[in-house]
Structure 1
Amino acid sequence: MTALQYSPGATALVESLWTISQVANYLKIPVQTLRTWRKNKTGPAAARIGKHLRYDPGHVRAWVARRAEESADD
């Protein structure tokens, strides 16, 4: 699903940012759910790059981990 990219002169592999469709696929939810969560400020953080939303995979995974911890506390 994700591609690792290497740039000459870079010291580490960098994971590509995810599109909203990739995040929806990862979470197994509809894209519209992500849009609603963004509007309500309850979903994983996204950055607007021009007219496109992009998600840092690490931030998405951390958001999922926090949600899992919150669910375990209930």
Structure 2
Amino acid sequence: MDATTQVTPTFLTQHELSELLRLPERTLEDWRLTHTGPPYLKLGRHVRYDVQDVLVWVQEHRHG
């Protein structure tokens, strides 16, 4: 990939992320309230997660 290539971000809904991480949606809601979960975007009233941000967050929380 050269410097002029654009990478299109992929945004996930709360439901899609809960399925990906195999966690309840309520857990993601709690994490947003306590600022402990993956970074998210608020687009109007809609919450979206950039998949690249989520992958970085998951790696940062890896143990062992």
The verdict on a shared fold, with TM-score over 0.5 as the criterion, is yes
Task: For residue 49 of structure 1, report the CA deviation from its aligned partner.
Answer: 0.3
**Aligned alpha-carbon RMSD (Å):** 1.2
CA distance in 2, matches of 1:13, 1:56: 12
One-letter amino acid matched to 1:66: E
Which structure is higher in RCO with an 8 Å CA cutoff and minimum separation 6?
Answer: 2
Would you say 1:53 and 2:47 are equivalent positions?
yes
TM-score by length of 2: 0.85
Aligned length: 60
Give the match for residue 18 of structure 1.
Answer: 12
State the 4+ residue runs in structure 1 displaced beyond 2 angstroms: none
Q: Secondary structure at the residue paired with 2:55? A: helix
Task: For residue 14 of structure 1, report the CA deviation from its aligned partner.
Answer: 1.5
Residue number among 37, 42, 51 corresponding to 1:43 in the alignment: 37
Unaligned stretches of 5+ residues in structure 1? 1-10
Percent identity (aligned): 32
Unaligned stretches of 5+ residues in structure 2? none
